[in-house]
Amino acid sequence: MKAIRVSTPGGPEVLRLEDVAEPAPKAGEAIVKVDAAGINYIDVYQRSGQYKLALPLTLGLEAGGTVTAVASDVTEVRVGDKVAYTGIPGAYAQFAAVPAQRLVTLPSGVSTKQGGAAMLQGLTAHYLACSTYPLKSGDTCLVHAAAGGVGLLLCQIAKMRGARVIGTVSTPDKAKLAREAGAAEVIDYSKQDFEAEVRRLTDGKGLQVVYDAVGKTTFEKGFNCLAPRGMMVLYGQASGPIGPFDPQTLNAKGSLFLTRPSLNHHIVTRAELVQRSNELLGWIRDGKLKVRTEFEFPLKDAAEAHRALEARKTTGKVLLIP
């Protein structure tokens, strides 16, 4: 079968389409024929060496597809099931071996492409809005990169929970997408100072929470947007790591909270994975949550897909189609 492999850290050019052995299910595993693999910023960190992993490796932590084989001890899924998963390496391939406990069966009306697009970013948006800071009516939140994959989903879920959403974007086209996703106000940070705009839009009172996946270029100013005892949620670093941080800053700016969460800690057990996934996929099935998937690349063009993602030329979800 074909897979995208990385043998040495580097830029998109290190992504190579190679022939590898098709997997067979070991105990507890199912084989998934991948219909769509999701591309995420963590893939860039792994490819570049920012996150250190043993090489060579097949990239990709998220996919939707069809079960083609199962080990004799597997009870969670059956051959022919339409499934999706996240958190298991090796999705940039035609087939993947996945622990059955990590597979979620897709409800009728949700395609494998939607499943492959929704798991990592959708479950991230779910835990951010429902668990890390459980948004409620009367809250105001700031969503950086509001037209990105997580951003568009997070705006929708935040609005569903009754919060007022302020989004930041870099172009007028992205501003339109953020508004369509539920952002009441949108700040173009290429032309406006987001800190000053947030203070203006909140009458100087500040926000309850900032959801920041950008990192280096937005982090420090984000604290000045928060109301006393507000929360800074740093869940990514697309512009680079933030460097050393003095906790006294949290006291000086209003007894603030800072957290650096990750999805893996919010789907540790199968029960929690299924609970979050069922709610998320149910929203998609019912039309309450829309997953934007217009950026699709053939598997062989993974390098091109990474270049587009890093250049911020994409919106919503980027998919690889084997």
Q: What structural domains does the chain harbor?
A: 2-120+267-321 (3.90.180.10), 136-260 (3.40.50.720)
- Does this model's pTM top 0.85? My answer is yes
Residues 107, 279: contact at Cβ < 8 Å?
A: no
pLDDT bin (cut points 50, 70, 90) of residue 307 is very high
Q: What is the pLDDT of residue 239?
A: 85
Interval 125-137 mean pLDDT: 98
What average pLDDT does this structure show over 210-228?
96
Mean pLDDT of the chain: 96
Closest CA to 124 of 90, 163, 154, 101: 154
The contacts of residue 191 (CB under 8 Å, 6+ apart) are: none
Least confident of 28-32, 38-42, 130-134, 259-263: 38-42
Contacts for 301 with CB less than 8 Å, ≥ 6 apart: 320
42-51 tens-digit pLDDT: 999 999 998 8
Per the DSSP assignment, residues forming a β-bridge with 83 are 65, 105
Q: Tell me, what's the pLDDT at 240?
A: 85
Residue partners of 248: CB distance under 8 A and separation at least 6: none
Alpha carbon 156 to its chain centroid, in Å, reads: 14
> What 3-state class would DSSP assign to 75?
coil
| Reported confidence tier of residue 113, pLDDT bands at 50, 70, 90 | very high
Could you report the per-residue pLDDT of 64-106, keeping only the tens digit for each?
999 999 999 999 999 999 999 999 999 999 999 999 999 999 9
Quick check: 238 pLDDT over 90?
A: no
Confidence of residue 241 (pLDDT cuts 50, 70, 90): confident
Share of residues in the chain with pLDDT > 70 (%): 100
Q: Provide the percentage of residues in the chain whose pLDDT is more than 90.
A: 91
Among 26-30, 237-241, 284-288, the minimum mean pLDDT is found in 237-241
* Confidence band for 279, pLDDT divided at 50, 70 and 90: very high
Summarize the confidence of residues 220-235 as an average pLDDT.
97
